[in-house]
Amino acid sequence: MQLFIDTAKPDEIRQALKWGFIDGVTTNPTLASEVGKPYKDVITEILGMVNGPVSLETIADDAVGIVREGLALSKLQSNVYVKIPCTLAGYEATKTLTSEGIKVNMTLCFSVNQALLAAKVGASFVSPYLGRVDDFTDGLGDEFISRVRHVYDNYHFKTKILAASIHDVEHVSQVAEMGADIATVPFAILREMTDHPLTKLGQAKFHKDWQDSGLTLPI
């Protein structure tokens, strides 16, 4: 499974890239609005440091507008995935863009049918919103991801399942078990994934035993 970072903050992306387990970046208008810099500057900084897929979202509500924005975003760099909501206009625009070879991530996906249609119009990624589905259905988000997986496997669709709206560390392991191709994870949750109380306890004992022994490194 690939791991993306779900943020538009260049500092978080820079740090996560150093950790070594990040394959790409997803942004959205809300995340971009939190950075506090002009959007063009933010995108330029992100694209300057990320080689993997970077999802940049359109804002227009009509197909013509989405296509216009999508074309402009896709021209910025070859690793840009145009992020388009699962609306009727979004499907129409996605079909137009994918027919021209432009990579699309269909977002705001809340049903198996929306995911099915994203595959039909040639999206590279579909983003089922696990956390928000969980919030509205009393914890059925993981079932949602596995149902999309089942449908995609039935028909050998090439669209990748990009589990989004990850709200805690459990969500990450759940989507890995459910067969998501990618999970996009906020910075704080990525860091929390490395954490385990027994690792900390074990490390403290190793340090104490090492100090007591008088052994030294490097050899």
Residues carrying an active site annotation: 83
From the centroid of its chain, how far is CA 143? Answer: 19
Angle formed at CA 124 by CA 119 and CA 125, multiple of 5 degrees: 85
Least gap, CB of 202 to ligand G3P (angstroms):
32
Based on the shown chain and the rule CB under 6 A, indicate whether residue 131 belongs to the binding site for ligand G3P.
yes
3-state secondary structure of 163: strand
Q: In terms of CB distance, is 39 or 100 closer to ligand G3P?
A: 39
Residues 40-59 that bind ligand G3P (CB under 6 A): none
Judged by CB under 6 A, does residue 132 bind ligand G3P?
yes
Residue from 94, 98, 114, 184 binding ligand G3P (CB under 6 A): 184
The answer to whether residue 164 forms part of the interface with ligand G3P (CB under 6 A) is: yes
Are the CB atoms for 163 and 183 separated by under 8 Å? yes
User: Judged by CB, which is closer to ligand G3P: 28, or 174?
Assistant: 28
DSSP classification of residue 168? S
How much of the chain is in helix, strand and coil states, percent to nearest 5?
A: 55, 15, 30
H or E stretch at 95: helix 88-99
Stretch that binds ligand G3P, among 32-40, 129-137, 150-158, 190-198 (CB under 6 A): 129-137
- Is residue 114 part of the contact set for ligand G3P (CB under 6 A)? no
DSSP secondary structure letter of residue 196: -
Question: Which residues, 76 to 105, sit near ligand G3P by CB under 6 A?
Answer: none
Choose which of 3, 5, 25, 28 interacts with ligand G3P (CB under 6 A): 28
Q: Which of 4, 125, 129, 152 binds ligand G3P (CB under 6 A)?
A: 129
Count of other CB atoms within 10 angstroms of residue 188 = 11
Total interface residues for ligand G3P by CB under 6 A: 10
In the complex, minimum distance from the CB of residue 208 to ligand G3P, in angstroms, rounded to a whole number: 40
Using CB under 6 A as the binding rule, whether residue 29 contacts ligand G3P is answered as no
Rounded to a whole number, what is the largest CA-CA distance in the chain?
A: 71
- Contact between 132 and 110 under an 8 Å Cβ cutoff? The reply is yes
d(C-alpha 172, C-alpha 183), whole Å = 7
Using CB under 6 A as the criterion, which residues of the chain lie in contact with ligand G3P when the complex forms?
Answer: 6, 26, 28, 129, 131-132, 164-165, 167, 184
